[in-house]
């Protein structure tokens, strides 16, 4: 990676020495981090001893130099401090001199200044471990970084002037619904109801805007799946992280240089049905794969997915629209009643003014569609500050009874 403009001479010197030793030992800096750290610490220690003779300038903070050299050689350079900062949720580059970060749902311009060459090399290094590529024939790419962060790149030419980079960090603070209660995302009553709904095998749609906590909610719901079920998940890149003894995660694949070998999300949904699933999870529904998911859910296979939408009502409208992208022979007259019969619950999340994630509503879908509108019943709503119980009931009450859950008692304050 090229060095930042105006880097201190000591940094340039030590960086070169470390890289030379890494090449001599034929190390992969990102795969063999401990070996690189050993070299960095040795190079800094040697320089510190040599500074006692006056031949080189002394280092004001050797420990900080080790951190900086590790970021340059084995990490992602000037971006590494933001990736290491637990308060940073996302990092993006609009142009080399404009690097932004998001904290607590709010974004801020940093004082980090890169060069176009540094950005290009950062992208190349980030993609190295993912097995994905970006070039003129494939100017967009989604990939997963080694720490679990999601990378999106749009090349210059598609993005005006400079390559645009987004790194959405894996900052999931909750792995179970109980933890979301502690964080104030939802109430204990709502969490108990959602946990019971997962155990009962209801089909759940998690909706919200960007960074509203959809994937975290999906992870927490998935953690409530009984251990005896077999779970197959399909995602564009691996983002789901939950503990389950029988889980096969699948992700999409780009086309190769010859233009062949692409595996789309729709392909994964279809293939997952051949893997004897008890549950199917789709990380995010964006396009025609919605049809394949609906067909699976309508055949009695419990499932969950996320969807970008501004409300539970808009999410259902979108679920009725996306399958139409699958082909001209798919009609709204088929899709709307299928959505009504297949989706049982919609959990909608949003960011509040302070940047905190909140469940705004949980609605049930009774299974009816009239005049092109899928009917809903509000089970929980957040009219103001608190998520409160409404009069609605979930569908498929017999499925709750089958697993020994009295849903009426549960919603009236029991467990």
d(CA 115, CA 150): 22
Stretch(es) of the chain classified as CATH 3.30.450.370: 80-168
pLDDT surpassing 90 at residue 61: no
CB neighbour list of residue 46: distance below 8 Å, 6 or more residues apart:
none
Q: At 414, is the pLDDT very low, low, confident or very high (cuts 50, 70, 90)?
A: low
Q: At 132, is the pLDDT very low, low, confident or very high (cuts 50, 70, 90)?
A: confident
pLDDT surpassing 90 at residue 189: yes
pLDDT surpassing 60 at residue 182: yes
The pLDDT value given to residue 180: 95
pTM: 0.81
Can you read off the two tokens belonging to residue 397? 């009450």
Q: What is the mean pLDDT of the chain?
A: 89
pLDDT surpassing 60 at residue 2: no
d(CA 322, CA 286): 7
The 10 Å CB-count burial string (b at 16+, else e) for 138-173 is: eeebbbbbeeebbbbbbbeeebeebbbbbbbbeebe
The pLDDT value given to residue 307: 96
Section 158-174 average pLDDT? 86
pLDDT tens-digit readout, 291-336:
999 999 988 899 999 999 999 999 999 999 999 998 888 888 899 9
SS3 assignment, position 128 = helix
- 110 CB-contact burial (10 Å; exposed 0-12 / middle 13-18 / buried 19+): middle
pLDDT tens-digit readout, 365-409:
999 888 888 999 999 999 988 999 999 999 999 999 999 999 999
Section 89-94 average pLDDT? 93
Higher-confidence residue of 125 and 200: namely 200
Query: In 10 A of CB 232, how many CB atoms?
Result: 25
Section 244-269 average pLDDT? 90
The pLDDT value given to residue 381: 96
CB neighbour list of residue 343: distance below 8 Å, 6 or more residues apart:
203, 205, 297, 316, 319, 365, 374
Q: Which CATH architecture is the domain 80-168 placed in?
A: 2-Layer Sandwich (3.30)
d(CA 290, CA 64): 50
Q: At 70, is the pLDDT very low, low, confident or very high (cuts 50, 70, 90)?
A: confident
Q: What is the CATH number of domain 177-411?
A: 3.40.50.300
Section 136-162 average pLDDT? 88
pLDDT surpassing 60 at residue 6: no
DSSP 118-172: HHHHHHHHHHHTTT---BTTB-EEEEE-TTS-EEEEE-BTTBSSS-EEEEE----
Give, for 158, the enclosing helix (H) or strand (E): none
The pLDDT value given to residue 3: 38
């Amino acid at each position: 990676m090229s060095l930042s403009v105006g880097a201190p001479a000591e940094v340039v010197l030590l960086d070169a020495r470390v890289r030379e030793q890494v090449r001599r030992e034929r190390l992969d800096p990102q795969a063999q981090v401990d070996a690189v750290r050993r070299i960095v610490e040795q190079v800094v220690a040697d320089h510190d001893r040599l500074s006692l003779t006056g031949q080189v300038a002394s280092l004001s903070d050797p420990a900080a130099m080790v951190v900086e050299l590790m970021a340059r050689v084995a990490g992602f350079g000037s971006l590494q401090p933001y990736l290491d900062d637990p308060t940073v949720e996302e990092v993006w580059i609009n142009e080399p001199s404009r690097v932004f970060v998001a904290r607590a749902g709010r974004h801020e311009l940093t004082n980090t200044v890169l060069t176009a060459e540094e950005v290009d090399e950062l992208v190349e290094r980030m993609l190295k471990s993912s097995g994905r590529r970006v070039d003129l024939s494939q100017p967009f790419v989604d990939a997963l970084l080694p720490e679990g962060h999601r990378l999106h790149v749009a090349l210059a030419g598609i993005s005006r002037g400079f390559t645009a980079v987004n790194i959405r960090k894996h900052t999931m603070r909750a792995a179970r619904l109980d933890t979301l209660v502690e964080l104030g995302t939802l109430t204990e009553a709502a969490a108990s109801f959602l946990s019971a709904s997962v155990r009962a095998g209801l089909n759940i749609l998690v909706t919200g805007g960007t960074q509203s906590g959809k994937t975290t909610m999906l992870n927490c719901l998935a953690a409530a799946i009984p251990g005896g079920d077999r779970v197959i998940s399909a995602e564009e890149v691996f983002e789901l992280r939950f503990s389950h003894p029988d889980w096969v995660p699948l992700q999409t694949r780009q086309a190769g240089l010859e233009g062949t070998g692409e595996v789309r999300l729709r392909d994964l949904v279809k293939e997952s049905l051949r893997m004897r699933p008890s549950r199917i999870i789709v990380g995010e529904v964006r396009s025609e794969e919605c049809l394949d998911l609906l067909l699976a859910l309508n055949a009695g296979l419990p499932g969950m997915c996320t969807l970008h939408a501004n409300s539970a009502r808009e999410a259902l409208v979108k679920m009725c629209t996306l399958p139409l992208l699958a082909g001209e022979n798919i009609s709204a007259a088929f899709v709307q009643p299928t959505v009504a019969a297949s989706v049982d619950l919609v959990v909608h999340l949003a960011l509040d003014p302070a940047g905190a994630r909140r469940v705004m509503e949980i609605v049930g879908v009774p299974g009816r569609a009239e005049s092109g509108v899928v009917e809903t019943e509000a089970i929980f709503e957040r009219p103001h500050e608190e998520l409160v119980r409404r009069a609605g009931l979930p569908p498929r009450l017999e499925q709750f009874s089958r697993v020994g859950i009295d849903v009426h008692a549960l919603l009236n304050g029991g467990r």
